[in-house]
Structure 1
Amino acid sequence: MPHEAWPVDPMAIAPFLAAVVLIELTPGPNMGYLAGLSAVEGRRAGFVTVAGITCGLLAYMLASVAGLTEILRINRPLYELLRWAGVAYVLWLAVDAWRGGERAEATPERASDWTLFRKGLLANLLNPKAALFYVTLLPGFVQPGHASPTQQAFILGSTHILVSILVHGTIVLSSDGLARRIAGIGGSVSARRIFAAALLVTAGWIAFETRR
Structure 2
Amino acid sequence: MSDVFSGSLAAFALTSLVIEMTPGPNMAYLAALSLSQGIRAGLAAVVGVALGLSVFGAVAALGLSAVIDNSPLLYEVLRWGGVVYLLWLAWEAWAKEAETAPEKAGDPDVHPALAFRRGLITNLLNPKAAVFYVAVLPDFVQPDRGSVAMQTLALSALYVGIATLVHLVIVLLASRLHKVVQTPDKRRTIRRVLAVALAAIAVWFAFSTAR
TM-score strictly above 0.5: yes
Q: Name the residue aligned to 2:17.
A: 21
User: Which stretch of the first structure deviates more once superposed, 69-78 or 149-158?
Assistant: 69-78
1:204–1:178 CA distance, 2 compared to 1 (3 A): farther
Q: Is 2:68 aligned against 1:76?
A: no
Shift of 1:134: 1.3
Q: Name the residue aligned to 1:60.
A: 56
Q: Give the percent of matched residue pairs that are identical in Structure 1 and Structure 2.
A: 40
Q: Name the residue aligned to 1:153.
A: 152
CA distance in structure 2 between the aligned counterparts of 1:53 and 1:102, rounded to whole angstroms: 29
Shift of 1:176: 4.0
Whether the aligned pair in 1 keeps the contact of 2:65 and 2:131 (CA below 8 Å) is no
Alpha-carbon deviations, 1:14-39, whole Å to 9, x = none?
A: 22112100110000001111111101
Report the number of matched residues: 208
Note the residue ranges of structure 2 that are not aligned, 5 or more in a row. Answer: none
Alpha-carbon deviations, 1:17-67, whole Å to 9, x = none?
A: 121001100000011111111010001110011011111111111111111
Note the residue ranges of structure 1 that are not aligned, 5 or more in a row. Answer: none
- Normalising by structure 2, we get a TM-score of 0.91
CA distance in structure 1 between the aligned counterparts of 2:92 and 2:184, rounded to whole angstroms: 21
Q: Name the residue aligned to 2:84.
A: 88
User: Which stretch of the first structure deviates more once superposed, 69-78 or 37-46?
Assistant: 69-78
Shift of 1:180: 5.8
Q: CA RMSD in A?
A: 2.1
Q: How does 1:88-127 map to 2 (within 5 A)?
A: 88-105=84-101, 106=104, 108-127=107-126
Whether the aligned pair in 2 keeps the contact of 1:73 and 1:136 (CA below 8 Å) is no
User: Which stretch of the first structure deviates more once superposed, 179-188 or 53-62?
Assistant: 179-188
SS of the equivalent of 1:109 reads coil
The one-letter amino acid of 1:35's match is A
Q: Name the residue aligned to 2:171.
A: 172
The one-letter amino acid of 1:125's match is L
Whether the aligned pair in 1 keeps the contact of 2:100 and 2:184 (CA below 8 Å) is no
Whether the aligned pair in 2 keeps the contact of 1:57 and 1:124 (CA below 8 Å) is yes
Whether the aligned pair in 2 keeps the contact of 1:38 and 1:45 (CA below 8 Å) is yes
The one-letter amino acid of 2:40's match is R
Whether the aligned pair in 1 keeps the contact of 2:39 and 2:172 (CA below 8 Å) is yes
